[in-house]
Amino acid sequence: SGFVGEFLTLVGIFQVNTWVAAVAATGVILSAAYALWLYRRVVFGDLIKEALKSITDMDRREKVIFAPLIAMTLILGVYPSLVTDIIGPSVTALVSDYNAALPADGAQLALD
C-alpha cells in the first residue's frame, strides 16, 4: 500500500532494534505476498456466477471519463508543487496559530 512509508519506518526501526525490524520486514513481505496471491485469485480466477460473465471491460465513454483522472494523478504525482505551493501559506498560517497556543505546554510544532 505505502511502500515508501513502510520502507522509511523499517529503516527507523532498524536503527533502534534489529530484531523488531526483522520481524516487521517479514510481516511486510508476507503481506505483499498475500496481496499478490489474492489479486491473482480475484482478477484471474474463474467466474463462479453466470450473471457476471456478461460484464465487459470499459467502453470508450468510460475511458474518456477516466482519462482526466489518470492524467491528474500522474501530473500531481510528478509535480506535487502545483498543489503544495497553493496550500503552503495557509498551512504555515495554521501551524503558526497552533504554535502561538502551545507555549503554555512548552511544546513546539516544527514545520520545515
Residue pLDDT, tens place only, 23-82: 999 999 999 999 999 999 988 888 788 887 788 888 999 999 999 999 999 999 999 899
Q: What is the pTM of this model?
A: 0.46
Q: How many CA atoms, within 13 angstroms, populate the side-chain half-sphere of residue 19?
A: 0
71 in Cβ contact with 64 (< 8 Å): no
Give the residue-averaged pLDDT of 90-106. 73
Q: Which residue has the cell 512509508?
A: 5
Output the pLDDT for position 102.
Answer: 61
Output the pLDDT for position 110.
Answer: 59
Amino acid at residue number 55: I
pLDDT over 60 at 1, yes or no:
no
